[in-house]
């Protein structure tokens, strides 16, 4: 297996997009310009389990703590992290807490946390919202959530969007969902969702009233462990290969680290 202890360069370009991946060896930072993968390197050595960009700062859930901007916070071993203005984290026992910059405030406990995005938490029992306390806000069998623009929920039977309650978007056993973090509030911009070996993509400007027609399937050359979307589509395999599609097909690069569990763009 190749090593990336030192950064490797495949061409330097301006205007790159930054992609971070959580791996069993640490946090990997990758620069991407359109579909060209450039500089990548190991930014921090740890067992990284999840990532989130919270108020412009990278938060990392590790097997020892939650790191915010590389600083330890005293949460303890974490399973998932999210949040919009401040970090929200979960541990393997289902403890959910919010970090105010000085200390963690416990919000409650839920079983089997699968993902956190923004203030929404995905669990087998449904979606929970982290407010002053935890509130169950519907559905069941939820595998993943995405909150920018219009909240989406990937469940074992369907993909849902939040409108006047949870509204069916697509049928299928959905495992992962991601939305462009720059999406305007109340608008479903660029998004992608994984169901089995099929990735469905929603493009900016699509007529959302058209239902299934607003999404198009995209062929996948490998099985994703994590997905993301911005100006390009991104996915990473569990063994550490990053794929990017800027509209002309997939390009990929092996990053040399396995155990990929999460990815964020920007």
Count of CB atoms within 10 A of residue 92's CB?
14
Residue 204 has what pLDDT? 73
For 89-139, write each residue's pLDDT tens digit: 999 999 999 999 999 999 999 999 999 999 999 999 999 999 999 999 999
Output the DSSP codes for 164-221.
SEEEEEEES-EEEEEE-TTPPTT---SEEEEETTEEEEE-TT--GGGGGGGEEEE--S
Residue 143 has what pLDDT? 98
For 199-258, write each residue's pLDDT tens digit: 999 987 655 444 444 899 999 999 999 999 999 999 999 999 999 999 889 999 999 999
Residue 11 has what pLDDT? 34
Among all chains, which residue has been given the structure tokens 């991601």?
178
Do the bridges between strand 120-123 and strand 174-179 make them parallel or antiparallel, or are there none, so unpaired? unpaired
Given 3-state DSSP classes, what are the helix, strand and coil percentages for the chain, each rounded to the nearest 5? 5, 55, 45
Q: What is the DSSP letter of 16?
A: P
Query: Which element (helix H / strand E) includes 227?
Result: strand 226-229
């Amino acid at each position: 297996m190749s090593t990336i202890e030192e950064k490797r360069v495949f061409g330097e370009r301006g205007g790159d997009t930054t992609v971070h991946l959580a791996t069993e060896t640490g946090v990997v930072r990758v620069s991407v310009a359109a579909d060209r993968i450039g500089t990548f390197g190991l930014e921090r050595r740890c067992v990284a389990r999840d990532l989130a960009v919270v108020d412009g700062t990278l938060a990392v859930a590790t097997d020892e703590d939650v790191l915010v901007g590389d600083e330890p916070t005293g949460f303890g071993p974490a399973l998932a992290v999210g949040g919009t203005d401040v970090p929200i984290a979960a541990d393997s026992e289902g403890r959910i807490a919010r970090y105010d910059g000085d200390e963690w405030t416990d919000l409650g406990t839920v079983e089997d946390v699968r993902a956190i995005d923004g203030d929404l938490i995905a669990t087998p029992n449904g979606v929970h919202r982290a407010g002053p306390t935890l509130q169950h806000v519907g559905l069941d069998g939820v595998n993943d959530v995405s909150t920018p623009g219009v909240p989406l929920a990937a469940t074992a039977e369907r993909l849902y969007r939040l409108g006047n309650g949870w509204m069916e978007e697509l049928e299928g056993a959905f495992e992962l969902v991601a939305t462009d973090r720059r999406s305007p509030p109340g608008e479903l911009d660029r998004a992608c969702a994984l169901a089995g070996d099929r990735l469905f993509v929603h493009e900016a400007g699509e007529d959302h009233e058209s239902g299934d027609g607003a999404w198009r399937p995209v062929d996948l050359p490998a099985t994703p462990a994590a997905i993301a979307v911005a100006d390009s589509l991104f996915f990473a395999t569990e063994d550490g290969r990053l794929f990017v599609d800027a509209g002309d097909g997939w390009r990929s690069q092996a990053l040399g680290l396995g155990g990929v569990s999460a990815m964020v763009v920007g």
